Amino acid sequence: MYSEKVMDHFQHPRNVGEIENASGVGTVGNAKCGDIMRMYLDIDDNGIITDCKFKTFGCGAAVATSSMATELVKGKTIEEALKVTNKAVMEALDGLPPVKVHCSLLAEEAIHAALWDYAEKNGIKIEGLSKPKSDISEDEEEEEY
Ligand code: FES
């Protein structure tokens, strides 16, 4: 049911934890299952994401997608990090079962929420970033994969 990569990231998740005084922190929840994800980003003066950690109160697919998402955004610019969509994360994991797609949205939303927090703290606007929703359950039926 799960790819080897999903199992690997689930059993050995990368970048679990917190960053003290992080540049941006985002917390999102999925109303459908009640799972919660918190993402911490450290961003340097050049807009490069130097570190990324996450904590989740979520299922195995949420753990695996968040783990992969943190690996994908590390070392990237903010603009590049915005392209790390749940689809990109799922591709990097060699796919997820359809019923688990909503779990991958949690990681994407958490990155966006952390970037939004960073932008607010610094009084800047990030092109292409809209205010994160804390409830992502409404969108998932409309998404196509
Ligand atoms: Fe809730 Fe996976 S079942 S995030």
31 C-alpha to ligand 1 centroid (Å): 10
63 C-alpha to ligand 1 centroid (Å): 9
User: By C-alpha distance, which of 45, 29, 48 is closest to 37?
Assistant: 29
β-bridge partners, 43: 49
Output the residue whose Cα is nearest ligand 1's atom 4: 103
Q: Name the pairing type of β-strands 49-57 and 36-43.
A: antiparallel
pLDDT digits over 83-116, tens only?
Answer: 999 999 999 999 999 999 989 999 999 999 999 9
Token reading at 67 = 């783990």
DSSP 23-82: SEEEEEE-TTT--EEEEEEEE-TTSBEEEEEEEEES-HHHHHHHHHHHHHHTT-BHHHHH
Band (pLDDT 50/70/90 cuts) for residue 140 is: very low
Q: Per-residue pLDDT for 16 more than 60?
A: yes
103 C-alpha to ligand 1 centroid (Å): 5
Q: Stretch 117-140: mean pLDDT, rounded?
A: 79
Rg (the chain; Cα; Å): 14
125 C-alpha to ligand 1 centroid (Å): 30
Q: Note the pLDDT of residue 131.
A: 83
pLDDT digits over 109-124, tens only?
Answer: 999 999 999 999 999 9
SS3 of 130, please? coil
pLDDT digits over 24-37, tens only?
Answer: 999 999 877 889 99
Ligand 1 near 61 CB (within 6 A)? yes
Mutate to test the pocket of ligand 1, among 36, 55, 103 (most ligand atoms within 8 A of CB): 103
Q: Per-residue pLDDT for 145 more than 70?
A: no
pLDDT digits over 21-76, tens only?
Answer: 999 999 999 877 889 999 999 999 999 999 999 999 999 999 999 999 999 999 99
Considering the chain, what is the average pLDDT of its residues?
90
Q: Which residues are catalytic?
A: 33, 103
Ligand 1 near 62 CB (within 6 A)? yes
Q: In the block, which residue shows the tokens 């359950």?
A: 137
Ligand 1 near 109 CB (within 6 A)? no
End-to-end Cα spacing for the chain? 17
Nearest-5° Cα angle at 48, 122 to 108? 80
Q: Note the pLDDT of residue 134.
A: 63
- The lowest-confidence range among 4-13, 58-67, 126-135 is 126-135
